[in-house]
Amino acid sequence: SFHQIRKDEITQKSHLGQGTRTNIYEGVLLVSGGGEHDLDYDYREQNNNSRDLRVVLKVLDPSHQDISLAFFETASLMSQVSHIHLVFVHGVCVRESENIMVEEFVEHGPLDVCLRKDKSLISAGWKVTVARQLASALSYLEDKRLVHGNVCAKNVLLARKGLEDGSSPFIKLSDPGVTFTVLSREERVERIPWIAPECVRNASYLSTAADKWSFGTTLLEICFNGEVPLKERTASEKERFYEKELGLPEPSCKELADLIGVCHNYNPSGRPSFRTILRDLTQLQPLDLSDIGSISPDFS
């Protein structure tokens, strides 16, 4: 279950982009003072007893009942969790025929864009910090036996960029969007190489093990400055890549290549726990990191 938001409590502003069956807008949520809404929140403006929060409105495309239900499932999942590296979902608003997820606005946008745009400013240490924060959020979900299902650099948002001297990045993993059990086979194939191979064949195989595969691919995006392996391939080429159980390109840092390798085990039960992944990332020595780099991998 989740908090229900009235349509007169939200204001829709500029369009930010499109997602999987969604349109995303910047917005404002009017929160009346006190009570259950009394959250510790950075972006609020105090005015008497009510305040305006800067939010993101994720508007689901008009769709079948089962997809709306899948959207509500996600809102409900995100309402059960509380972690510094997970985005905060305020609730859901039903506005005429539209279903809208209202969530925390994360100031500096998605990680994939930042990796590409700011690559000359990003250090190996920065990348490992981001990877650790993501692993800590996923380890939390794993402990609660909750599955995210859509881990990728696009869904990692930067609350703080941390590119100035003496500062560090701070990420928040976004909600997974429409639960992928309702996606079509084509939509699942499009998610190669993030989606775990077992989930392409059968969406009901979605489990924490699938999040580990996606984490491995996200780590690759981080290592390769937001470049995406297999991006130029056709759908059937992507499918064949998984069918032949091929390996994705490796970063030059051996420790990270090994970690990605174990996440990308075609046998889901062979993938490590996020607790183990987090420990490995924490033990990475700065010396190992000088060579994290983006060899320009052959992605084609």
Positions in the binding site for Mg ion (CB under 5 A)? 19, 155, 174
Query: Sign (positive/negative) of CA torsion 96, 101, 107, 109?
Result: negative
- Choose the stretch contacting ligand ATP; rule: CB under 6 A; options: 17-25, 139-147, 181-189, 198-206: 17-25
Min dist CB 248 to ligand ATP, Å, is 20
Q: For the window 253-292, what string marks contact with ligand ATP as x by the rule CB under 6 A?
A: ----------------------------------------
3-class secondary structure per residue, 103-149: EECCCCCEHHHHHHHCCCCCCHHHHHHHHHHHHHHHHHHHHCCCCCC
16 in contact with ligand ATP (CB under 6 A)? yes
What token pair was written down for 91? Answer: 């609730």
Contacts of 121 (CB under 8 A, 6+ apart): 163
- Choose the stretch contacting ligand ATP; rule: CB under 6 A; options: 20-28, 132-140, 196-204, 258-266: 20-28
Min dist CB 169 to ligand ATP, Å, is 15
Q: Quick one: what does residue 58 bind among ligand ATP, Mg ion, none, with the CB cut-off 5 to 8 Å set by partner type?
A: ligand ATP
- Whole-Å CA distances, 238 to 116, 196, 281: 23, 12, 29
By C-beta, is 154 or 161 nearer to ligand ATP?
154
Q: Quick one: what does residue 20 bind among ligand ATP, Mg ion, none, with the CB cut-off 5 to 8 Å set by partner type?
A: ligand ATP
177 in contact with ligand ATP (CB under 6 A)? yes
- Choose the stretch contacting ligand ATP; rule: CB under 6 A; options: 91-99, 140-148, 150-158, 268-276: 150-158
133 in contact with ligand ATP (CB under 6 A)? no
- Choose the stretch contacting ligand ATP; rule: CB under 6 A; options: 14-22, 92-100, 213-221, 255-263: 14-22
By C-beta, is 175 or 239 nearer to ligand ATP?
175
20 in contact with ligand ATP (CB under 6 A)? yes
By C-beta, is 149 or 251 nearer to ligand ATP?
149
By C-beta, is 174 or 217 nearer to ligand ATP?
174
- Choose the stretch contacting ligand ATP; rule: CB under 6 A; options: 129-137, 154-162, 233-241, 248-256: 154-162
- Whole-Å CA distances, 106 to 4, 35, 86: 21, 24, 11
154 in contact with ligand ATP (CB under 6 A)? yes
Spatial separation of the C-alpha atoms in residues 238 and 283, rounded to whole Å: 34
* Residue of minimal Cβ distance to Mg ion: 155
Binding region for ligand ATP (CB under 6 A): 16-17, 19-20, 22, 24, 56, 58, 87, 103-106, 109-110, 150, 154-155, 157, 174, 177
